């Protein structure tokens, strides 16, 4: 495989929220690509540890990040963007939660865009989506990461699976549909989450916190195929494979395709 890849992480999006949100593009991605609504994240099911595992394909006991405060790795694992940069791939990064800056090491990104979500995460989601569309169409990077933080913010404020939460899931999928329809067909789009949630929080090993969706749509993906057992650790190997690369030797996950 040798595609270009757009990876979208919708923070705090429970797998079982997709059916209830009922955005039409969810069913379209499932029908046109491969998917699972039963993938598992890592413990603790907290944003920075989960994203570190997403980008480094190892659990927190190996990368060492167990809270939302970054500390340098004692035994560094090569992350996705470092692995891609070492293989002459171009990476772009768009996010509205500042702590995610530590997912990549200096020099691994060709472009990075941070939009603070402190005032309005939904407006920030829209801005980042527009910015990513513009960047992809102008620069044609090999890999682009788009992080949308509003769902998690709304979950903490109003509760997971509340009416407000479901609206935020729907609105985030509107961003997914917009960018997927605006970029070249050579891009495979992967949509996932870092963790779920229950009540007004997350971080436990309850299924509501640990179960995440993974949806993959592209020219080389099978249509309507449900993926078997899957983990957040499988994201980086899948991206690397789509870009025609082997996984890094230290990664523990497997390609899902």
Please name each of the domains of the chain with its CATH number: 4-243 (3.40.720.10)
Count of all residues that appear for the chain in the document: 257
How do residues 225-244 score in pLDDT, each as one tens digit? 999 999 999 999 999 999 99
Confidence check: pLDDT of 47 > 60 = yes
Mean pLDDT of 132-145: 98
Mean pLDDT of 95-113: 96
Tell me the two tokens of residue 195. Answer: 């963790």
Note whether 202 and 46 are within 8 A (CB).
yes
Share of the chain above pLDDT 90, in %: 95
Model confidence, pTM: 0.97
How do residues 7-18 score in pLDDT, each as one tens digit? 999 999 999 999
Confidence of residue 220 (pLDDT cuts 50, 70, 90): confident
Tell me the two tokens of residue 184. Answer: 């070249």
Mean pLDDT of 100-124: 93
Q: What are phi and psi of 47, to 5 degrees?
A: -55, -55
What whole-number distance in Å separates Cα of residue 124 and Cα of residue 116?
7
Q: Using H for helix, E for strand and C for coil, what is the string for the chain? A: CCCEEEEEEECCCCCCHHHHHCCHHHHHHHHHCEEEEEEECCCCCCHHHHHHHHHHCCCHHHHCCCCCCCCCCCCCCCCHHHHHHHCCCCEEEEECCHHHHHHCCCCCCCEEEECCCCCCHHHHHHHHHHHHHHHHHHHCCCEEEEEECHHHHHHHHHCCCCHHHHHHHHHHHHHHHHHHHHCCCCEEEEEECCCCCECCECCCCCHHHHEEEEEEECCCCCCCEECCCCEHHHHHHHHHHHCCCCCCCCCCCCCCC
Please provide the average confidence, as pLDDT, over all residues in the chain. Answer: 96
Q: What is the pLDDT of residue 116?
A: 87
Confidence of residue 73 (pLDDT cuts 50, 70, 90): confident
Confidence check: pLDDT of 42 > 60 = yes
**Pairing status of strand 4-10 against strand 187-192:** parallel
**Pairing status of strand 111-114 against strand 143-148:** unpaired
> Among residues 1, 43, 71, which one has the least CA distance to residue 196?
43
Q: What is the pLDDT of residue 104?
A: 96
How do residues 176-212 score in pLDDT, each as one tens digit? 999 999 999 999 999 999 999 999 999 999 999 999 9
Q: What is the pLDDT of residue 118?
A: 76
Which burial class, exposed, middle or buried, applies to 111 when counting CB atoms under 10 A from its CB (0-12, 13-18, 19+)? middle
Tell me the two tokens of residue 196. Answer: 């779920």
């Amino acid at each position: 495989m040798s595609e270009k890849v757009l990876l979208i992480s919708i923070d705090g999006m429970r797998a079982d929220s997709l059916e209830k949100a009922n955005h039409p593009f969810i069913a379209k991605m499932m029908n046109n690509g491969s998917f699972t609504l039963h993938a598992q994240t890592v413990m603790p099911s907290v944003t920075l540890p989960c994203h570190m595992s997403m980008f480094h394909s190892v659990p927190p006991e190996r990368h060492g990040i167990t809270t939302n405060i970054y500390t340098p790795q004692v035994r560094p694992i090569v992350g996705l963007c470092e692995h891609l940069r070492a293989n002459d791939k171009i990476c772009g990064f768009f996010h509205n939660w500042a702590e995610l800056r530590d997912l990549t090491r200096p020099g691994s990104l060709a472009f990075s865009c941070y939009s603070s979500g402190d005032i309005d995460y939904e407006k920030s989601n829209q801005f980042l989506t527009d910015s990513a569309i513009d960047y992809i169409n102008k620069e044609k990077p090999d890999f682009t990461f788009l992080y949308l933080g509003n769902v998690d913010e709304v979950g903490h404020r109003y509760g997971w699976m509340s009416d407000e939460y479901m609206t935020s899931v729907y609105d985030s999928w509107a961003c997914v549909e917009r960018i997927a329809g605006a970029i070249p067909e050579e891009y495979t789009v992967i949509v996932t989450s870092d963790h779920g949630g229950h009540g007004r929080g997350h971080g436990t090993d309850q299924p509501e916190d640990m179960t995440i969706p993974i949806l993959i749509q592209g020219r080389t993906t099978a249509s309507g195929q449900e993926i078997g057992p899957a983990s957040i650790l499988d994201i980086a190997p899948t991206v690397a494979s789509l870009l025609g690369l082997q996984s890094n030797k230290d990664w523990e996950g497997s390609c899902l395709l």
